[in-house]
Structure formats: structure tokens, C-alpha cells
Amino acid sequence: MGISFREVSHTYRPPRGRPVLALENVSLEVREREFLALLGPSGCGKSTLLYLLGGFLPVEAGTITVGGRPVSGPGPDRGIVFQSFALFPWKTVRQNILYGLEKQRLPRAAREKRAQDLIELVHLRGFENSYPAQLSGGMKQRVAIARTLAIDPAILLMDEPFGALDAQTRALMHEELLAIIRRTPKTVVFVTHDVREAVYLADRVAVMSARPGRIKEIVDTSFAGEHGSEIAGTREFAEKVERLWGLVRNEAIIAQERQGS
């Protein structure tokens, strides 16, 4: 399911203080079943763009369409995974995954089978009856991904989902995510501030400018083979990381200068 942003702008209006123009005239096309990363300095509007696409914020100026239809609110075609996991602490792994399925009013046997299939998919067999407090960070994020996949959205929105994880767990989750996407193809929009993560995971990377966020450049980060550990040590990978880092670094400097002025 393709996504189109056309001249999207968004202003935050806090109860106190001046309005802040977060996004200005953002135009972007995301192809069906593409993995697109949004990359840029802190405060550039990456997450805002994601929340507008998810329908959690109103589209004030411009248009966002999914499959040709304007976004007017959240919908089952778009599932979101947050950095903070956002699990129900009083529910077990199985119950967290079942939550979305219960909202769809599927028969109980179908819900239970779907939940177990997802538990297997994210390698959490044996932890079905564990509570979030008993899980590691990586395991919690696997539950969050499984819960989102349970409703089978065509589009997966991910807001720095691995930002709170240690480096080793993060690397494992990269492999896990790529394996899941191969088995259940989705259109993915992935917010990150990590250049290497963006190159490692995404087919294309949209670099955003310092606030107000605009699309500065779109870089093709696809490789001849599939994404995975075999690409990370290649010269092509290093060159793409270096190019993107240069773009992001320039915008981060601009952002700092504006804050200091």
C-alpha cells in the first residue's frame, strides 16, 4: 500500500509560549512494501511526520494519502511500534498480543492460533505466560512488534523502536526485524537518528532538515543482495553511511546554531 505526503506542514501550539513550526511543505512518496527510514537531527519533525501518517495528529496543511485515500485518523491498515514498548504491564505476553485481536472480534480459536503463530514468529515460545516486568528489553520489543503484527496492518510505523536497547540487543533486533519483514512483507516507515541503522535496514533513507523539517535528500540504500549482516562490512555500506552522516551532520550543526541564536 503506497503512501503519499504532499506539501505537509504542521505547527505545534503549546498552551504557553510561541507556536512552533515543526514541518514545512514535506512532499514524499513511499512505495508499496518499501522499507523507508526517516533520518535527521533531533527535533526535525521525524516523529511528527510518523504520527500524522498514523492519524494521531490532524493534518493541518497539505495531504497524506494511503492507497489513494486521505488519512483522517488511526486505522487498522497502519500499526505503530513505539520506543517505549507501550505494553500492558498487567497482561502476559499472550494477553498483550491477543489485545488487538479481541478488538477485531475474531473467534476465540482463531485468536489463540494467531497469537501462538506470532509468538513463534518472534521467538518467544516458552514466555507466553510471562509479564513484561519479567522480560528483557529486546523481548519486550518483540512482544510490541508481535502485538502490532497481530492486526496484520499493511503499513508498519516504527518510532525509534530500538533506541532504548543496548548495542548487542539492538543488533539482534535488526536481524529479527528483517527476518519478520521477509516472512510478512509490509510497507515500513522507520524513524531513527542512527545513520548505520538506517543504512542497514532501509531500502531508501529520507534525510530531513533542521526544524522546520523538510525533505533535504532521499538516498537509495538498497544493495545487490538482501539486507543483513553480510552487507555491514562492505565498502558500499561504509560509503553510504559516510554520505548520510555528512548530510545529517550539516543539519545538526544548523539546528545547534539556531538554538544558540
Tell whether 120 is covered by a domain: no
pLDDT band per the 50, 70, 90 thresholds, residue 260: low
Mean local confidence (pLDDT), 42-56: 95
Tell whether 95 is covered by a domain: no
Tell whether 110 is covered by a domain: no
Select the more confidently predicted residue: 227 or 144.
144
**Domain span at 168:** 3-77+153-260
Scan for cell 524513524, then name that residue: 191
Residue 64 buriedness (CB in 10 A; 0-12 / 13-18 / 19+): buried
Q: How many domains is the chain built from?
A: 1
Tell whether 146 is covered by a domain: no
Residues in Cβ contact with 25 at an 8 Å cutoff, skipping those fewer than 6 apart: 7, 8, 9, 62, 214
State which amino acid sits at residue 185.
Answer: P
pTM of the predicted protein model: 0.92
Tell whether 220 is covered by a domain: yes
Mean local confidence (pLDDT), 126-150: 93
Tell whether 211 is covered by a domain: yes
Quote the pLDDT of residue 191.
Answer: 97
Tell whether 19 is covered by a domain: yes
Among 97-101, 112-116, 217-221, name the one with the lowest average pLDDT. 97-101
Mean local confidence (pLDDT), 242-249: 95
Tell whether 210 is covered by a domain: yes
CATH of the domain at 235: 3.40.50.300
